[in-house]
């Protein structure tokens, strides 16, 4: 009898344990769901799918408590450096052309006076010859020959000036020609012709935009770390036979450079002038990485954020430059708190997968 009572008690205890386990197991999901709802109420954070896009909903209070900060996206002010080559122009030919041009113009000035004199003499002799032969035909003929010779010399000299000016234009460009033609003093031309500055021809790639840089840095090929500034002067009419691209003249006030030296040219160009597309700056603190891609969160309402992928082809020390497309200038981007948002987003995705 005693053994039966003991067995009954053991069986009863086992049944009680099984019942407790069943109650615990069956009530677990309900408890977890209630707990998740409580957590959601506490955090005021959840995910809402709108037109197939996950929107992270975060209340204003939670944004403040979590240190989530946003700012408007600004255009990129980044300038990339483009490297090219150039050479120091030897100005001996230009100096020779200028001196020759001045000499011919001086001769023209003399010839014009002689032409006016000979023309006047011829016309006077012609009148006298017609007036009862007060002057002989021979004298009239001699004055005509002198007049025609002076006229021919004047025309020849003027043609030489035209040819010489065209030669200067084709070799050195219109701007230098105008400086040489002008009677006014020009400091830059004076510096170039008196060994106080150097004229440098550089070649920029055909892919370079029309926005030619005003300033470039120059360095000798064998001393790349010693750089000096050069300022834009004009387009260069002749190409560099050794390089492909457009050529431009720059002036540097460094008279230590030897003529015909080859140079390395460093030119800066804003990202927004490289293409017609506008470039925007994305700060590095806004970026979160997932699945090998860079993502940012954009604020679309007071409590709504969406995650968007960005290209990382144009990296800068402080972030990335992206083309304006789905992300626009003045969109609000999350500066701090992106990693928290990504964690919240994936937490809800995992929970939904478990529910399924």
pLDDT tens figures, 220-259:
988 888 888 999 999 999 998 888 889 999 999 988 899 9
Kindly give the interhelix angle for 174-181 and 92-130, rounded to the nearest 10 degrees.
50
The sign of the CA dihedral 256, 259, 263, 269 is positive
Structure tokens at 254: 């460094």
Could you tell me the pLDDT band of residue 34, with boundaries at 50, 70 and 90? very low
Could you tell me the pLDDT band of residue 210, with boundaries at 50, 70 and 90? low
Could you tell me the pLDDT band of residue 33, with boundaries at 50, 70 and 90? low
Instruction: Tell me which architecture the domain covering 82-89+196-271 has in CATH.
Output: Beta Barrel (2.40)
d(CA 202, CA 179): 21
* DSSP-assigned states of every residue in 230-259: EEEEEE-SS--TTS-SEEEEEEE--TTSPT
- Give me the pLDDT at residue 128, please: 83
Q: With 70 as the cut, is the pLDDT of residue 41 above it?
A: no
Per-chain mean pLDDT for the chain? 83
The residue with greater pLDDT, 162 or 8, is 162
Q: What torsion, rounded to 10 degrees, do the Cα atoms 37, 41, 47, 50 define?
A: 110
* Domain 45-68+275-356: which CATH number of 2.40.420, 2.10.70, 1.10.357, 1.10.3470: 2.40.420
* pLDDT, tens only, 318-343: 888 888 888 999 999 999 998 988 88
Could you tell me the pLDDT band of residue 314, with boundaries at 50, 70 and 90? confident
Q: Domain coordinates of the chain in residue numbers?
A: 1-43, 45-68+275-356, 82-89+196-271, 92-181
Q: With 80 as the cut, is the pLDDT of residue 78 above it?
A: no
Residue (of 225, 214, 338, 348) closest to 269 by Cα position: 214
d(CA 114, CA 89): 40
Query: From the centroid of its chain, how far is CA 31?
Result: 60
Query: From the centroid of its chain, how far is CA 118?
Result: 63
Range of weakest confidence among 23-27, 118-122, 124-128, 335-339? 23-27
- Give me the pLDDT at residue 44, please: 54
Phi then psi for residue 260, to 5 deg, are 75, 5
Q: If you count them, how many residues does the chain have?
A: 356
In the chain, the percentage of residues whose pLDDT exceeds 70 is 82
Q: With 70 as the cut, is the pLDDT of residue 28 above it?
A: no
* pLDDT, tens only, 263-282: 999 877 665 555 556 788 89
């Amino acid at each position: 009898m005693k053994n039966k009572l003991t067995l009954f008690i053991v069986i009863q205890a086992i049944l009680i344990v099984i019942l407790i386990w069943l109650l615990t197991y069956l009530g677990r999901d309900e408890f977890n769901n209630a707990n998740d709802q409580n957590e959601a109420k506490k955090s005021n954070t959840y995910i809402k799918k709108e037109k197939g896009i996950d929107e992270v909903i975060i209340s204003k209070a939670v944004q403040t408590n979590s240190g989530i900060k946003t700012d408007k996206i600004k255009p990129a002010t980044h300038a990339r450096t483009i490297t090219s080559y150039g050479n120091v122009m030897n100005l001996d030919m230009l100096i020779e052309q200028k001196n020759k041009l001045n000499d011919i113009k001086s001769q023209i000035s003399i010839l014009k006076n002689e032409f006016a004199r000979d023309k006047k003499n011829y016309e006077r002799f012609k009148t006298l010859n017609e007036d009862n032969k007060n002057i002989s035909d021979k004298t009239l003929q001699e004055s005509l020959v002198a007049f025609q010779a002076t006229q021919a010399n004047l025309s020849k000299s003027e043609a030489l000036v035209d040819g010489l000016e065209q030669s200067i234009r084709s070799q050195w460009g219109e701007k230098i020609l105008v400086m040489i033609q002008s009677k006014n003093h020009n400091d830059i031309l004076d510096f170039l012709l008196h060994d106080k500055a150097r004229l440098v021809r550089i070649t920029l790639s055909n892919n370079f935009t029309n926005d030619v840089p005003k300033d470039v840095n120059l360095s000798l090929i064998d001393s790349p770390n010693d750089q000096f500034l050069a300022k834009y002067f004009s387009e260069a009419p002749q190409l560099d036979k050794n390089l492909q691209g457009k050529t431009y003249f720059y002036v540097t006030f460094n008279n230590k450079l030897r003529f015909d030296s080859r140079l390395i040219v460093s030119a800066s160009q804003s990202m927004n002038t490289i293409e017609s597309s506008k470039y925007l700056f994305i700060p590095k603190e806004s970026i979160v990485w997932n699945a090998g891609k860079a993502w940012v969160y954009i604020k679309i309402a007071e409590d709504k954020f969406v995650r968007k992928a960005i290209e990382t082809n144009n990296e800068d020390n402080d972030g990335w430059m992206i083309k304006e497309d789905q992300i626009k200038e003045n969109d609000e981007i999350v500066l701090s708190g992106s990693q928290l948002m990504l964690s919240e987003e994936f937490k809800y995705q995992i929970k939904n997968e478990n529910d399924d």
